[in-house]
Chain A
Amino acid sequence: MELGNQVLQYLLSGFSTGAIYALIGIGFSIIYNATGIINFAQGEFVMLGGMLTLFLMETLKLPLWAAIPLAVLLATLVGLVFERLAIRPLSKASPISLVIITIGGSILIRGLSMLIWDKDTHALPPFSGDEPIMIAGATVLPQHFWILGITVVLIGLNKWFFNHTISGKAMRACSYNPRAAGLVGIDVRRMVLLSFVISAAMGSLAGIIVAPLTMTSYDVGVMLGLKGFCAAIIGGMSSGIPTVIGGLILGVLESLGAGLISSGYKDAIAFVILLLILFIRPQGLFGKPESERV
């Protein structure tokens, strides 16, 4: 197997993991833009997606197609409750205390799911078989297409929502200037709630579509959350294409690094990029210093 084919394989693998990071990263950005806080419980919604789907399939014996929307709904509900109970009562608090609250929330959600379910790792069945598909000497799984496809659709929906609906435009207004948005009659608190709902839904869906490949357990959200955060930072906390590209860059670099240099550096790569971006270009790779957010 010559180097060309190997590199193609690294790229394909990198794109599919990158798409996952992108989806999770967008969840981070949406909340950041609406509230100015980084929601470190984002990874937990990813975990909830996978674990809830599994729970619904095993205990309620639902078929995969019924379990997925229900799991997204339940995870979204958790996001809503989380915002109402933990974030809203403290809306006058500084962003840093809110960030700390989200960290606490993530530990709580993780602990509860460990108690409710168990400490084991579980596998979800792939959506459409697991026969690999050959692409010019490299292979991908049908699940990779699901991941790429769903990512593209979600990003399209996002774009449409923020640019063409009243709520979306209101959320963007809040992100530019919450005070001004409030003065023109936008219910800022409702927009914050909406941002949590949307990102919980997206995060959980991301968790579901990757679970057949990566498996799921109560603590799977920690690493995926961090990688998603990293993607969002590369993208300059934009909830659109830049974060997607950020995720893809991260996925590809990780995959190439593990293949060509050493797999020992795989996670280090993400953190080095994260630190470099934060030091050199805090506005993200593509951001103008004052970028369009949301």
Chain B
Amino acid sequence: MRFRFTTLTTAALLLLSASLSFAAGTIKIGGLFSVTGPPAFLGEPERNTAKMVVDTINRTGGIKGQKLELVVYDTAGDATKAVQMATKLIRDDKVVAIIGPSTTGESMAVIPVAEREKVPLISCAAGSKITDPVKRYVFKTAQNDGLAVAKIYEYLQKHKQNKVAILTVSDGFGASGREQLKSLAGKYGVQIVLDDTYGPKDTDMTSQLTKIRGSQAQVLIVWGTNPGPAVIAKNAKQLGLKMPLYMSHGVSSKKFIALAGDAAEGVKLPSGKVIVSDVLSKHDPQKGSLMAYVKDYQKQFKAEGDHFGGHAWDAVMLLKAAIEKGGATTEGIRTGLEGLKDFHGIGGTFNFSAGDHAGLNKDAFVMVEIKNKDWMIAK
């Protein structure tokens, strides 16, 4: 018995030292994505992209000769799990930085861990409260909702339409959008004449639309993620709703067009540039990154590269740039990130500073219109 115990400990120690010596030559980073669970539509492309980018970096010589090692855990969209996994990444896996989590709720839960352990966290979620107020070790790559709202309002202002009806989904994404839509309205001279909501699982929104049809609104802005907005587009067509339909960046993937079919024609929305990368002007500074990402993703996963994957692409590449600048320590990465300027990623052009850990402005979005089942830049 005694003998067996000794052999076991020796074996364990040997294994441990082996893994340590292996780890010495690599930079270990952690990934927290909700690959399963309700937000899987975010987490799955994020994980795929992160793995793909890390592979590419390693294939092309790593970062200053050092290889990257990515440890990914699935949070299943659960904040408690995200906190456990984050602690595990920091304490057991000894990562120097963490990418993710995928949703705002999970990110908010993980932030105290990152701050306490002083490990940089690059969240892939959109909620503006993640980096507002600024937290020392927390950065994010997904564009703030407020930027999308500003883009729509700016567009409406240009087209002299100021009476809007808003229809938002009653979940985290919709609630945050609704808040932004209401708080920015004054700044752009927009008047919200009708404010209504729908449930994330609702399958018929004709009641709300009938009410909106009877109102003074000139345009309707819908804030939600699939499938709700597709149902609304179909219902609007059924009711013969004449007013132009605006949607959020939450539906900017081909999936929306597939779901809404003919009803998607003419819908306008603010979108990150990924989906329109092929029609962007070649002077756009992001064009290079975008085309590379879309091509690689298509080759590897036989699917359209989307924004969500793009958030992970940005996170890994920002990390790479930060390590090149500040070194592969937690403190080095933090300072490196904070000093990054003019980083042309997928989500936009990032400019981090001590006062801004989100780093994007509303030029990260373009207004697009759906025409002939494809995206066009809206005029």
Of residues 110 to 141 in A, which have CB atoms within 8 Å of B's CB atoms? 119-123, 125, 130, 132, 139-141
Q: Which of B202, B205, B210, B226 lies at the interface centre, i.e. has the most chain A CB atoms within 10 A of its CB?
A: B210
Residue in B170, B196, B227 whose beta carbon sits within 8 Å of that of A121 in the complex: B227
Query: Chain A interface (Cβ within 8 Å of chain B)?
Result: 1-3, 6, 9-10, 13, 16-17, 119-123, 125, 130, 132, 139-141, 210, 213-215, 217, 222-224, 254-259, 262-264, 266-267
A6 to chain B: which residues have CB within 8 Å? 210-211, 214
Q: Report the bound CA distance from A1 to B239 in whole Å.
A: 12
Question: Smallest CB-CB separation from A258: which chain B residue?
Answer: B207
Which residues of chain A have C-beta atoms less than 8 A from B196's C-beta?
262-263
With A1-B214, A6-B211, A13-B207 in contact, do A123 and B261 touch (Cβ < 8 Å)? yes
Shortest distance from the beta carbon of A240 to any chain B beta carbon, whole Å = 25
- Say whether B207 contacts A10, CB under 8 Å: yes
Q: Is the interface of B mostly helix, strand, loop or mixed?
A: helix
Report the Cα distance A81→B210, complex, angstroms: 44
Asked if B40 is at the interface (CB within 8 A of a chain A CB), the reply is: yes
Question: How many contacting A-B pairs (Cβ < 8 A)?
Answer: 99
Contact residues of B between 245 and 265, Cβ < 8 Å to A: 255, 258-263
Determine if B208 and A214 form an interchain contact, defined as CB atoms under 8 angstroms apart.
Answer: no
| Minimum Cβ distance to chain B for residue A203 (Å) | 16
| Contact between A10 and B230, CB atoms less than 8 A apart | no
Chain A residues within an 8 Å CB radius of B379: none
What separation, in Å, do the CA atoms of A13 and B231 have in the docked complex?
Answer: 14
Contact across chains for B204 and A264 when beta carbons are under 8 A apart: no
A264 engages B227 (CB within 8 Å): no
Q: Is B48 engaged at the interface, CB distance under 8 Å to the other chain?
A: no
In the complex, which of the residues B202, B211, B238 contacts A139, with contact meaning CB atoms closer than 8 Å? Answer: B238
1/0 contact trace for B198-227 toward A, CB 8 Å?
Answer: 110111111110110110000000000011
Cα distance, A46 to B83, chains bound together (Å) = 37
A10 touches B234 (CB 8 A): no
Bound state CA distance, A13 and B203, in angstroms? 11
Do residues B213 and A1 form an inter-chain contact, with CB atoms below 8 A?
Answer: yes
Whether B204 lies near A213 (C-beta < 8 A) is yes
Asked if residues A264 and B230 are in contact (CB atoms below 8 Å), the reply is no
Q: Is the CB of B207 within 8 A of A140?
A: no
